[in-house]
Amino acid sequence: MAKKKLKRLALHAICIALCVIILTPFLLVLVNSFKTKNEAARMNLSLPTTWVFSNYAEVIDKANLVNGFLNSMLYAMVATIAGVLLSAMGSYVLSRNRTRFNNLIYYFLICGLFFPVNYVTLVRVFNWLNLTNTRIGIILVFTSAMIPFCVFTIYSFVETIPKDLDEAAVIDGAKSTGLFFHVILPLLRPTLMTCFILQFMSVWNDFLTPLYMSSKGKLFPMTMSVYQFFGKNSSYWNFVFADIMLTILPVLAVYAIGQRHIIGGMTTGSVKG
């Protein structure tokens, strides 16, 4: 018994050591976000000589963070919900009705996992469609970009839902759309949550897409704001760090709330042997 306890202790020690390695950079950000400009430039872990809480207020004001936050929220929420829902509809049909044609479509969609995004030509397409400088355009790009990943993840999850269910529901008089939205969709919830969380975070962190797709500062997301504070000749590291803290806070929240679903959704889905 003692040996088992010792072993467990050793394993905890390993985990704690790993946590220290992982958390140190976060601590660096946190501590330095309360320092003065020059003290923050030293980027060490010592506590601030004077705690400058006003860094946060200044960052919110100077970088127009409220507007950036609302944009980021809008893009991440709408694009992700739309992307996950559309992918679920698509993968459901592809998985259930495996005709030659549908199999082809599946692999055609999956190919997207391997393609690099080409912003330059994307901007061109945007122009033709008159979508430049619109929020809807930005959202559409995000939504499209997540389709391959979501279809890939959801497709195999659909297989785990017994087909008998569909037939039973149809016999009970359900329409095809009703069958999907009332019966299948709720059952897909774990994997939808997984996709939602992963994609929400990647949309949140992506600032290149809005940057290329719009030329209006009003449309910029929160992650862009950090650039206001460092430049060629002088950088305000205290503001940079405060800005980082504020920018990752919402993602942290989403992650904290949803993290158990990430594993939950993959459990029965694509990772089964």
Partner 1 sequence: MKRIATLVICIALALSLFCVSASAENVVIEAVPNEGQFAGEELSILVSTGWMDNRYDPTIERFEETYDVSVDLQVIPADQYQDILQSNLANGTCPDIFWIQSNPFAIGTQIVNPEEYCIDFTGEAWQAIMPEARQTSCVYDGKLYGLQLWHNSPEYVMVYNKTLFDELGIEAVPTTYEELKAVCATIAEAGITPWFVPGADGWQHQLAFFQIGGVYEETNPGLYEALNNNTATFAGNEKMLEVLGQFKELSDLGYFGEDWIGTDSTNMVNEYADRNIAFAMANSSYIKQLQEEAATGDEYGMFLIPLGDNDWFPTNPAGPTMFGFKGTEHEDLVRAFFQFVCTPESLQEILDNSPNYTNLDVNVEIDQHWLPEEEEFMATVNPDKMGVSVLQTGTKYTNDYWMQFGQDLIAYCQGTIEANDVLANMDQNRADGASVVGDPNWQ
Partner 2 sequence: MNKRKIYPQWFLLLPLILYVVFFLFPSLLGVFYSFTDWGRNTAREGLHFVGLQNYIDIFTSNKNYAAGILNTLKFTLISNVVKIIPALFIAILLYEGLKKTGIYRTIFYLPSIIPFVIIGILFRSIFNFNNGLLNAALEGIGLGAFKQKWLSDLGVVWKSIYGVDAWRGIGYVMTIFLAGLSAIDKTYYEAARVDGAGFWQRLWHVTLPMMRGAIMINLVFGITYGLKVFDIIYVLTNGGPGHATEVMTTYTFQLYSSGQYGLSTAFNTLLLLLTAVVGVLIVRTMSRNEEV
What letter would DSSP give residue 230? B
Binding of partner 2 by 144 (CB under 8 A): yes
Assigned token pair, 121? 């030509």
- In the chain, what are the helix, strand and coil shares in percent, each to the nearest 5? 80, 0, 20
Q: Which amino acid is at 221?
A: P
**Residue 181 site contact among partner 1, partner 2, none (CB < 5 to 8 Å, cut-off depends on kind):** none
Which residues within the stretch 44-63 sit at the binding site for partner 2 (CB under 8 A)? 44-45
Of 173, 186, 231, 273, the one binding partner 2 (CB under 8 A) is 273
**Residue 60 site contact among partner 1, partner 2, none (CB < 5 to 8 Å, cut-off depends on kind):** none
Which residues within the stretch 129-158 sit at the binding site for partner 1 (CB under 8 A)? 132-133
Report the C-alpha gap between 219 and 221 in whole angstroms: 7
Map tokens 């760090």 to a residue: 241
Of 17, 24, 189, 218, the one binding partner 2 (CB under 8 A) is 24
Q: How many residues bind partner 1 (CB under 8 A)?
A: 32
Could you give the string, one character per residue 84-123, with x where binding to partner 1 holds by CB under 8 A and - elsewhere?
-----------------------------------xx--x
Which residues within the stretch 203-242 sit at the binding site for partner 1 (CB under 8 A)? 208, 211-212, 215-218, 220, 224, 227-228, 230-235, 237
Q: Which uninterrupted H or E stretch holds 248? A: helix 237-267
Which residues within the stretch 200-259 sit at the binding site for partner 2 (CB under 8 A)? 201, 205, 207, 223, 226, 230, 240, 244, 247-248, 251-252, 255-256, 259
Of 59, 63, 78, 140, the one binding partner 2 (CB under 8 A) is 140
> 107 in helix, strand or coil?
helix
Residue 256: partners with Cβ closer than 8 Å, 6 or more residues away: none
**8 Å CB contact between 95 and 162:** no
To partner 1, the closest distance from the beta carbon of 66 in angstroms equals 16
Closest listed residue to residue 64, CA positions, set 246, 253, 210, 251: 246
